[in-house]
Amino acid sequence: MDITIFQEKRILLGITGSIACYKSVDLASKLTQNGALVDVIMTEAASRFIAPLSLSSVTGREVYSDMWSLDDHIQHVNLGEGADIFVIAPSTAHTIAKIAHGLADNLLTITALAARCPILMAPAMDVGMYTNPATQANVATLKDRGLLFAGPAEGRMASGLVGLGRLLEPTELMGHIRRALSSGGPLKDKKIIVTAGPTQEALDPVRFLSNRSSGRQGYALAQAALDAGADVTLISGPVQLNSPVGARMIQVNTAVEMSDAVLKEVADADVLLMAAAVSDFRPAELGKQKIKKAQAFSGGLGLPLISNPDILEQVKTQKAKTGRPLVSLGFAAETENLMEYGREKLVRKALDFIAINDVGSADSGFSVDTNRIILIGSDGRLMNMPLQSKSAVAEDIIRVIVEALDLRIN
């Protein structure tokens, strides 16, 4: 795993007594694997569900539970002071109530009172407890004071009841934590539009033309922009991926829908990252009913197609009037003459950058987790990036975008 934003971050993980505690071990492990330094505070009730040893084994660090220690008599202050974020997952109704009322009767709640860092609470409780007006009022009070909340989710609970109250899954919690850590990043207050995935062009109610784009590179770009603190709008074709936490999602199917969404969104945007694999053509006619085999054959096997709008060329025309987006980047998925085709697109689409990827090789491009990119800038720069994960590619691209935007603005 290579999520840069967690590296060297001091994360205080508070665990309270809920059956969902077992997920905290996985969360602590994932954060540690990504380079975070995770200090755990458990309540007495939490340590009846899971052993402190499980936590210290995955974090390689101490687990705190006692209020008073001879070595460090003000450890609640030290723990809270040194942390980048205090995540309380799971947060029981009781702990939420105590923190809302400023009660401090164990190390976890004392530390919450003393902490100067952001606090993120992930509630876990039965549906009746969560929807109870007392809990709702406590959550509202804490939100008002600037505490952050992640979840709960709807679903089946240990009691057998179904409803709102499940602790989010560790990967979802990671998304909320990285969003909280990103505030104040270099793209703070910048509006970034990212497109991702394929488009689908319907032939009839059951068939469509599309391509092999998985959306992974576009989603990784959206996540890297979020990690840099940006306001991200992700315009996505149909893909099998979870939406990055914090992104504003616009789901589209066709190239025309994507074009409408992009032109509207870039009107006040700082950056456009056009990673979507837009279908170049669509069927000339949309069959209202499923086209029958006999029907298709009677007209021959040809399928009349018409061209879709080139979104980046439309953006170019709009930008000539509005000046937005300030910086735009396109992708060129090629199987041959990479540099030549890439440079031609950079000029024709009036882009600041073109990310050329060789989709002809098995380890790069569509449907795999890795990518090899050559980035060319309109300023003449050329970056030959190594084969790396799509997240690492995205982080490299976002670094270049931050620099370009700085130059454009200053």
Which positions are annotated as active-site residues?
A: 211
Which H/E stretch holds residue 107?
helix 107-114
Which amino acid belongs to residue 5?
I
Q: How far apart are CA 331 and CA 342, in angstroms?
A: 8
Q: How far apart are CA 181 and CA 11, in angstroms?
A: 10
Return the CA Rg of the chain.
Answer: 25
Shortest Å distance, C-beta 331 to ligand C5P: 4
Q: Per rule CB under 6 A, is residue 126 in the interface with ligand C5P?
A: no
8-16, 182-190, 291-299, 307-315 -> range binding ligand C5P (CB under 6 A): 307-315
83-91, 219-227, 234-242, 328-336 -> range binding ligand C5P (CB under 6 A): 328-336
The residue from 18, 43, 106, 308 that contacts ligand C5P (CB under 6 A) is 308
Nearest to 256 by CA among 286, 231, 233: 286
Q: Per rule CB under 6 A, is residue 49 in the interface with ligand C5P?
A: no
Burial class (CB in 10 A: 0-12, 13-18, 19+), 74: exposed
Of the pair 95, 308, the CB lying nearest ligand C5P is at 308
Q: Per rule CB under 6 A, is residue 257 in the interface with ligand C5P?
A: no
Q: Per rule CB under 6 A, is residue 276 in the interface with ligand C5P?
A: yes
Q: Per rule CB under 6 A, is residue 233 in the interface with ligand C5P?
A: no
Q: Which long-range contacts (CB under 8 A, 24 or more apart) does 406-410 make?
A: 408/326, 408/327, 409/326
Q: Per rule CB under 6 A, is residue 274 in the interface with ligand C5P?
A: yes
Which amino acid belongs to residue 231?
D
The residue from 278, 376, 394, 398 that contacts ligand C5P (CB under 6 A) is 278
Q: Which two tokens stand for residue 77?
A: 């202050």
Burial 233-250 (b: 16+ CB within 10 A, else e): bbbbbebebeebbbbeeb
Q: What is the DSSP letter of 167?
A: P
Q: Per rule CB under 6 A, is residue 345 in the interface with ligand C5P?
A: yes
Q: Per rule CB under 6 A, is residue 332 in the interface with ligand C5P?
A: yes
Q: Per rule CB under 6 A, is residue 204 in the interface with ligand C5P?
A: no
Of the pair 26, 310, the CB lying nearest ligand C5P is at 310
Q: Per rule CB under 6 A, is residue 255 in the interface with ligand C5P?
A: yes
Task: Note the residues at the interface with ligand C5P (CB under 6 A).
Answer: 255, 274, 276, 278, 280, 308, 310-312, 330-332, 345
